[in-house]
Amino acid sequence: MNMNMQQREEKQLEATLQAILNKVNDLKGAIQALITKLETEHETINWPTFLDNYAILSGHLTGLSKILQAELASSLRSRIVLPLQLSCERDEALVRLTEGRVPACTHDLVPDLLRTKPEPQAEQRLQQFNHKASTLSYDTAQKQVAQFAKVVSHVWEIISKGREDWEGESMRSAAMQPTHIIGDTHALVTAVGTGKGLRPGMPALGPGPGVGATLGPRGPAPPLGPSAPALPKAPSAIKTNIKAANQIHPYQR
């Protein structure tokens, strides 16, 4: 009976250690990803992206805490982890186990690895902050909170106003973009009304019937003089075709 209980405890311990190892590896991967992002994207990373990566770290830590607080991990509380040998020489097995981070188990390194409290300097500063926070009166704390909120609101108003101005300028500049060129418009009107520029060396002609009304206040152009060259008249067969069509029109009365 004792052997069965011992084997069952050993299996539970192995399963708990494996679950802890998996969570630690996930946490290590998340930390490495965050460090890589900070080193390679420090110029483009924004605060929401950083918070998302930090939330992943927090989730892994919460999962690790749940495993350590579970009933299956109660057997770990009665076990002690301590180095069996301290040496300043390089230990290849330790290097492989720690992925190159710890080359040797030295006297200076072991206290930091087995530390369950913060470093003395960090603990002293934490005590100073706690003492300062405990001696601060309620009214003073409320005044500081109100002042900080006022500063944040002022900065928010400045940012909001700058954004509105920038968006307004962008919309106005987009609306004021010209859609035509005045010179090209005048050249097009002159070409349609007088024929200027349609053929090299061709003089400007007067407007035909109905064109003079579209030329604005200038009025119709003067008639051509006798010295103006006459354009050759192309033969037309329109009258003949129309006459032939009238003769065979089925609706002719």
In a domain, 196, yes or no: no
Regarding whether 63 and 30 lie in a shared domain, the answer is: yes
Which region among 22-26, 53-57, 61-65, 98-102 has the lowest average model confidence (pLDDT)? 98-102
Number of structural domains (the chain) is 3
- Domain end position, chosen among 172, 206, 241: 172
Note whether residue 184 is domain-resident.
no
Q: Which of 172, 196, 213 is the last residue of a domain?
A: 172
Q: Which domain holds residue 54?
A: 1-79
Domain assignment present for residue 88? The answer is: yes
pLDDT digits over 206-224, tens only?
A: 444 444 444 444 444 545 4
Domain shared by 137 and 112, yes or no: no
Residue 246 lies in a domain: no
Q: What are the structure tokens assigned to 158, written together?
A: 């400045």
Q: What pLDDT score does 4 carry?
A: 76
* 225 in a structural domain: no
For residue range 65-98, what is the model confidence (pLDDT) as tens digits? 888 887 766 777 777 777 788 888 888 988 888 8
Q: For residues 1 and 21, state if they share a domain.
A: yes
Helices (H), 87-219: 92-97, 110-113, 120-135, 138-175, 182-194
For residues 129 and 159, membership in a common domain is answered with: yes
Query: What does the pLDDT look like over 130-165, one tens digit per residue?
Result: 888 888 888 888 898 899 999 999 999 999 888 888
Looking at the structure, do residues 124 and 158 belong to the same domain, yes or no? Answer: yes
Pair (66, 17) in one structural domain: yes
pLDDT at 199 exceeding the cut of 60: yes
Look up the CATH number of the domain holding residue 31.
1.20.58.1710
**Looking at 51, 79, 107, which one is the last position of a domain?**
79
Domain assignment of residue 49, yes or no: yes
CB of 73 within 8 A of CB of 16?
yes
HSE-CB for 113 with a 13 A CA cutoff: 14
DSSP string for residues in 162-186: HHHHHHHHHHHHHHT--SS-HHHHH
Residues 105 and 133 in one domain: no
Residues 30 and 59 in one domain: yes
